[in-house]
Amino acid sequence: MNNGFQRITPQIATVLEALLNAPNCSAYGWTLTADTRVGGSTVYRILARCEEAGLASSRWTESSGQRFRRVYQLTPSGAEWVQMLLDDRKARKALRI
């Protein structure tokens, strides 16, 4: 699977991990920005790449008359890939210690 990234930076791993750990593997972009402390433009760029690669999908929602917000969700194959990525990163980190 083409994951849409030439290399995985710590920011990418942080955002993907937050999305994987979110309820139903879905979250608003702004929530991911607040939870990860990664800049908004960086988070949205990561999410766009995930969508282009088929790792995530998004949809617009409206709640209680509030403005429309975009919800991002990992696809089943995307969630599997992110989990493998995180497991690999943890294994590599353990080898360096």
Domain definitions of the chain by residue range: 10-96
What's the Rg (C-alpha) of the chain?
14
DSSP letter, residue 93: H
3-class SS of residue 7: coil
Average pLDDT over residues 42-71: 91
Give the pTM. Answer: 0.87
Tell me the backbone φ, ψ of residue 22, rounded to 5 degrees.
-70, 155
Task: Give pLDDT, residue 97.
Answer: 63
Tell me the backbone φ, ψ of residue 28, rounded to 5 degrees.
-80, 145
Task: Calculate the CA 86 to chain-centre distance.
Answer: 12
Task: Give pLDDT, residue 85.
Answer: 92
CATH class held by domain 10-96: mainly alpha
Share of the chain above pLDDT 90, in %: 73
Average pLDDT over residues 62-76: 88
Which residue has 């690999």 as its token pair?
Answer: 88
